[in-house]
Structure 1
Amino acid sequence: MNKENKNFVLFAVIAALILFGWPVVQNRFFPTANPPVTKIEDGKTEVLPNKNADPTADTPAANRDRAVVLRETPRVQIDTPTMHGSINLKGARIDDLVLKNYKVTVAKDSPPVRLLSPAGAPEAYFAAFGWRDDGLSPPSADTVWTASSNLLAPGKPVTLTATNDKGQRFTIELTVDDGYMFGIKQTVANAGTGAVPVAAYGLVNRAGVSKDPDSWTIHVGPMSVHNDKADYDIDFKDLDEAPQRFSTTGGWLGFADKYWLTALIPDQVRPFDGQFRAGANKAYQGDYTTNAQLLPPGRQITQTSRFFAGAKEVRLLDNYTDKEGVTRFDYALDWGWFRVVEKPIFYYLDWLFRHVGNFGVAIILLTLTIRLLMFPIAQRQFASMANMRAVQPKMKAIQERFKDDKPRMQQEIMALYKTEKVNPLAGCLPTLLQIPIFYALYKMLMLTIEMRHQPFVGWIKDLSAPDPLTPVNLFGLLAFTPPSFLAIGVIPILLGISMYFQFKLNPAPMDDAQKQIFALMPWVLMFVMAPFAVGLQVYWITSNVLTILQQKLLYARHPGLKEAPSK
């Protein structure tokens, strides 16, 4: 077998590994996209159910209907611009919360996402605040508190009151802002005859694990910030084996879904002990407690904390970090390695979206901006490619002359580069610069709620999901849904076509095997990219089109690059 055939066989093997092995790798390290929100059936776009968007969706395993459970206990209503629900006066629990601005599916009549749900209802999820029973005799989970008002709203606080038979009076003053943050002020007044120890606690409890997949690049599950570091290393399986504990001053803990977050935020200047643990029936709890303080008769102690329950909106998380002093609250989003690149790109993309009103158009404008900024580098890249092509005959002559003396060959080639003023790595720079930008956009589409359910054009109702329109089933006219690895959508096909024409404009390789490899590469990558978010493919297609236009312009400036190298 000659060298060219060996190269082609090697490429065929690598291509097969990419096509069939890549899905295994990507599911663990690089989740491709959110589940499709629509499907094409009989040529029409149909909305698919999406239980993952609702962490407390009703299931057949539910104990009782949620509405029945909510009516069983007295409640204080919650109403803000972003959420509504209620507080259970039995046990002083925040256990009923719906997010007004987010729907379960893209359908116009879709219900809003429910985040919290009471115990005894489907997939219970709630928060509670109280005091440790270390000689204090605080209110229990069965205590029915007295409320100062029947409505909690921004600017309208509610105070819950309870007493015990030893002379202590307990109050919990609740406030809420326009976002998703509750203020908790816990006070114990001691009218008894002796000193009592006072140690406040808060807990958040959920039934079952998150329905969102936890991956190497996006953390889902127990989440905390302690000792000024974000901890993404704990998952639900770890809690099944043993409780996870830490002590810190400043920080928080809670449960992170892909788009939603519940977080207990103790006083940021007081030490506290935090822990995650598993309970009965696959329930999981995160809680904290403060150090006990001795409260003498005739005195009172007030301890403050906060509770976040809502959407992980980037600007909101940053605001709680920068302006309200919650330690590293912006780390609730697992930006990863390229955080320093991802956040500025997100803010610019979000700014574009606010001006044009369409995230797909904003992605195109983002791509155009990046290509314009990189144009001077691209010019140097093409000039370097032209110089490299010009010296190829000399380099091949050196390789032939010193083929039995590899060290001498490298010395002569380096001397040639220096004489001809050629940098073989210069052509790689634009590609290397694109990698963090491409990855940043991938993370934004996968991670940020601002991209969730954002439409583009026509049948594309969610840029963070794969393209649902595929010719494999004649664009939905045939009554079957092809498997994901065959469901090549229209946008991935356009991606393959754009890559084909881009590769055609590149200088033809001298090796025939390399020509065959480059001819097949666009179609292999088309299959690889098909399951990814449409928004990522829109970025790549736009980049390819701009590259084609750029290449035509630069070829006009460097005509020698298109000419076959002299022998």
Structure 2
Amino acid sequence: MKEDQKNFLLFAVIAGVLLFAWPVVTNWLFPQQKQIASTQMVNGKQVAKPTPGTAGPTADSPSTMRDRDVVLAETPRVAIDTPLLKGSINLKGARFDDLVLVDYGQTVAKNSPPVRLLSPGGAKASYFAQFGWQGAGVQAPDQNTIWQASGTKLTPTTPVTLTAKSATGQIFRIELAVDENYMFTIRQTVANVGQAPVSVTPYALVSRGERSTDVDQWAAHVGPMAVSQGAAKYLKWSEVESTPSQFSTTGGWVGYSDHYWLTALVPDQRVPVSIQQRGTTAQTYQADYQLAQALTLEPGKKVTYSSRFFAGAKEVKLLDGYQEKFGISQFDRAIDWGWFGLIEKPIFYYLGWLFRLVGNFGVAIILLTITIRGLLFPIAHKQFESMARMRVIQPKMKALQERHKDDKQRQQQEIMKLYKEEKVNPLAGCLPILLQIPIMFALYKVLLLTIEMRHQPFALWIRDLSAPDPATIINLFGYLHFTPPGFLAIGVVPVLLGVSMYFQMKFNPAPMDEIQKQVFAIMPWMLMFMMAPFAVGLQLYWITSNCITILQQQWLYSRHPVLKQPMKKEAKAK
């Protein structure tokens, strides 16, 4: 009895530590995204300067910060108008520095303004792309050059050409085109109408005046990234601040990955380039590329270099489609699928198909759960058969344990022999749980990573399945104006999860060991607290899975009634 009390006390201490330490662990592994007000932006800083000794193009650094609308009105512009994008191109410096994503609101509110991706230098949260040339013996256009445009609006059906002439006798053109989604095609041409040969190198850069307001986390990368030699490089902000990251590659791209948004410079995938990511201690950043070798241009000749610029939402099918259509190396890795990508992508595509079928992501998650549990049912059946056989041979096992109680090695040998003779696998009961773990994690990643799940409602107060349950009980569902601490932020859905887990365990055969009984009694309520910070969609999956398990148990108990019989306690030795 004292030993049981000691074990229970140890379990209680461990449970308490887990309960109160879990919010710290989840904030580290799975930090929640910050809510951004409809017009809020963090104070901007100057755009990135190159690290001393680092080669490559650079953006200018405005000395004063002004209101965005004021900055936009200071220079001539070409409007961008597509089904998914609105904004403008700055003719001063040929910059993409004004872009909003019209299909995505900043919040779940109906009147929420669209997400702003790009902003001009000199305004708060500056974030822009620039294309140009460098060279020897040539005065190439720079950030102060005013380009001449062939049109006033860039649309999927009306491309625009920008033209600039240099004092050294070259004509520069940038032909811009955009599709109906988020991909721009850039054709940079230079014609040498001068009297001497020149050496030129096309370049492109993305300048970012501050870090993303999204949280970089263990399960989903946010920050600088590059693809070089067929491998994705997920870089940290602090990493590129201390030392520029440089790569030489043929095929690949470079840019910045927010939680749901991406900017990516995609050079010609057949031409060797040098790409780099760099930053400053003032937390300003620049990603850029330039050709590995300069192009020599004789008088009367011209040369054209084609590249692409992606600026938009990280939609899975769209990224996969661009990767296949344009041969962009590892473009799908803009989404940090991680190790379980082979499981996550099929789950994503199947979940998307279910959503298109029923029109509600919550219902689609329920149908996904039914599908998964249906596929795992044969294994669950085997589990119950194994449990039934284990129950039948319990008397024989007790006899062996008593007979060889002084020889543990012989005891184990005899028990293993018994398992073999009776065709029993003692680990069969663990298999369904082990199979569920990667599925649960894959679903978590799908809900966390994919923008298709962002702001998707289910029913009643659940307006975003990718976020935790907002209806926290401790503050009376928001009627009391205070935010409860993380470990007490329990919503209605986590409570339903705990209740469903309680009844699932209650329908299981009661274990003989008192400590196990106490563990099983406490576990549902511990899980309720642990799962509260996770996405409602994941909790919905688990609740549905528990309900299906209860139904399966009732049917399987009818097939294996021996499991419902209480196990007899071993008589105490006199």
**TM above 0.5:** yes
C-alpha distance in 1, partners of 2:543/2:441?
Answer: 15
Q: Identity rate of aligned residues, in percent?
A: 63
Aligned counterparts of 1:393 and 1:461: Cα–Cα separation in 2: 54
3-state DSSP class of the match of 2:168?
Answer: coil
Deviations 1:285-309 (A, max 9, x none): 0000002011111110101110000
- Letter in structure 1 aligned against 2:41: A
Q: State the match for 1:350 in structure 2.
A: 352
Q: Distance in 1 between matches of 2:141 and 2:424?
A: 78
C-alpha offsets along residues 255-285 of structure 1, whole Å, 9 cap, x if unaligned?
Answer: 0000000000000011000011114742100
For residue 223 of structure 1, what is the aligned residue in structure 2? 225
* Counterpart position of 2:463: 461
In structure 1, the residue matched to 2:17 is: 17
Aligned pairs for 1:59-78 within 5 A = 59=43, 63-78=65-80
Question: After superposition, what is the alpha-carbon deviation per residue over 1:109-146, rounded to whole angstroms, capped at 9, x for unaligned?
Answer: 11000000000111100000111233322101100000
Summarize the alignment of residues 60-209 of structure 1 with structure 2, pairs less than 5 Å apart: 63-209=65-211
1:468-509 CA-partner distances (Å, limit 9, x unpaired) = 112212233333332221011000000000000000011111
Contact 2:44–2:209 (8 Å) recurs in 1: no
Q: Which residue of 2 aligns with 1:385?
A: 387
State the distance in 2 between where 1:314 and 1:85 align. Answer: 24
One-letter amino acid matched to 1:312: K
Q: Which runs of 5+ in 2 are unaligned?
A: 46-63
Q: Secondary structure at the match of 1:144?
A: coil
CA distance in 2, matches of 1:479, 1:27: 23
Alpha-carbon contact 2:507-2:553 (below 8 Å) kept: yes
- Deviation track 1:81-128 (CA, whole Å, cap 9, x = no partner) reads 111100000000000000000001111111000000000111100000
CA distance in 2, matches of 1:257, 1:343: 20
Q: Kindly provide the CA deviation profile for residues 50-97 of structure 1, in whole angstroms up to 9, marking residues without a partner as x.
A: 24x98x836498921111100000000000011110000000000000
Are residue 473 (structure 1) and residue 475 (structure 2) matched?
yes
Instruction: State the distance in 1 between where 2:422 and 2:280 align.
Output: 71
Which residue does 1:264 correspond to in 2? 265
Matched, 1:548 2:571: no
2:320 is equivalent to residue 318 of structure 1: yes
Aligned position for 1:514: 516
Q: What does the per-residue CA deviation read over 1:156-202, in whole Å, with 9 as the maximum and x for residues that have no partner?
A: 11100001111111000010011100001000101111111121100
Q: For residues 426-448 of structure 1, give each alpha carbon's deviation from its aligned partner in whole angstroms, at most 9, with x where no partner exists.
A: 11121111111111110011111
Q: Take 1:300 and 1:50, find their aligned partners in 2: how far apart are those partners? A: 48
Report SS of the residue matched to 2:393: helix
Paired letter, 1:126: F
* One-letter code aligned to 1:504: K
- TM-superposed deviation, 1:376: 1.3
CA distance in 2, matches of 1:312, 1:218: 13
Q: 1:408 Cα shift?
A: 1.7
1:50: which partner in 2? 36
Mapped to 2, the partners of 1:492 and 1:304 lie a distance apart of 52
Q: Residues 345-494 of structure 1 correspond to what in structure 2 (within 5 A)?
A: 345-494=347-496
CA–CA distance in 2 between the matches of 1:131 and 1:405? 82
Partners of 1:34 and 1:464 within 8 A in 2: no
The whole-number CA distance in structure 2 between the counterparts of 1:533 and 1:204 is 33
Whole-Å Cα distance in 2 between the matches of residues 324 and 172 of structure 1?
20
For 2:262 and 2:104, the matched residues in 1 are separated by 14
Alpha-carbon distance in 1 for matches of 2:382, 2:221: 40
- Cα distance in 2 for partners of 1:480, 1:127 equals 42
Is contact 1:312-1:449 (8 Å) kept? yes
1:243 and 2:244 aligned: yes
Please state whether the residue corresponding to 1:361 is helix, strand or coil.
helix
Instruction: Report the counterpart of residue 41 of structure 1 in structure 2.
Output: none
In the aligned structure 2, how far is the partner of 1:308 from the partner of 1:25? 35
- Give the number of the structure with larger relative contact order, counting CA–CA contacts within 8 Å between residues 6 or more apart: 1
Q: What residue number does 1:331 align with?
A: 333
8 Å CA contact retained: 1:278, 1:284: yes
Contact 1:4–1:511 (Cα < 8 Å) also in 2: no
SS in 2 for 1:21: helix
SS at match of 2:75: coil
Contact 2:242 2:280 in 1 (8 A): no
Aligned to 1:213: 215
For residues 297-337 of structure 1, what are the alpha-carbon distances to aligned partners after superposition, in whole Å with 9 as ceiling and x for unaligned? 11101011100000000000000112221111001000111
Comparing 255-264 with 135-144, greater Cα deviation is found at: 135-144
CA distance in 2 between partners of 1:477 and 1:72 (Å): 47
Distance in 2 (CA, whole Å) between partners of 1:12 and 1:295 is 77
Change (3 A) 1:404 1:197: farther
Aligned 8 A contact 1:34 1:466 in 2:
no
Deviation at 1:34, TM superposition (A): 4.3
> Does structure 2 retain, via aligned residues, the 8 Å contact 1:94–1:127?
yes
The reply on whether 1:297 has 2:283 as its aligned counterpart is no
Residue 457 to residue 238, structure 1, CA distance change in 2 (3 Å):
same
Q: How far is the alpha carbon of 1:533 from its aligned partner?
A: 0.8
State the distance in 2 between where 1:294 and 1:282 align.
37
> SS in structure 1 opposite 2:506?
helix
Q: Structure 1: how far apart are the matches of 2:323 and 2:75?
A: 36
> Is the CA contact (8 Å cut-off) linking 1:221 and 1:235 kept in structure 2?
yes
The residue identity in structure 2 corresponding to 1:17 is: V
Q: How far off is 1:398 after superposition?
A: 2.5
Check whether the contact 1:245–1:276 (CA below 8 A) recurs between aligned residues: yes
Q: Is the CA contact 1:34–1:533 (under 8 Å) kept in the aligned structure 2?
A: no
Name the counterpart of 2:7: 7
1:414 maps to amino acid = M
Q: Separation in 1 of the partners of 2:455 and 2:297?
A: 52
Partner of residue 39, structure 1: none
The one-letter code sitting in structure 1 at the alignment partner of 2:543 is I
Q: Runs of at least 4 residues of structure 1 off by over 4 A? A: 58-62
Q: Indicate which of 552, 557, 560 corresponds to 1:558.
A: 560
Task: Give the alignment of 1:495-506 within 5 angstroms.
Answer: 495-506=497-508
How many residue pairs are counted as aligned between the two chains? 550
Counterpart AA for 1:2 = K
1:122 corresponds to which letter in structure 2? K
Q: Is the 8 A contact 2:337 2:445 kept in 1?
A: yes
Q: CA RMSD in A?
A: 1.6
Alignment partners' CA distance in 1, 2:25 and 2:482: 27
Letter matched to residue 302 of structure 2 = Q
SS at match of 2:164: strand
Query: For residues 158 and 188 of structure 1, what CA distance do their matches in structure 2 show?
Result: 16
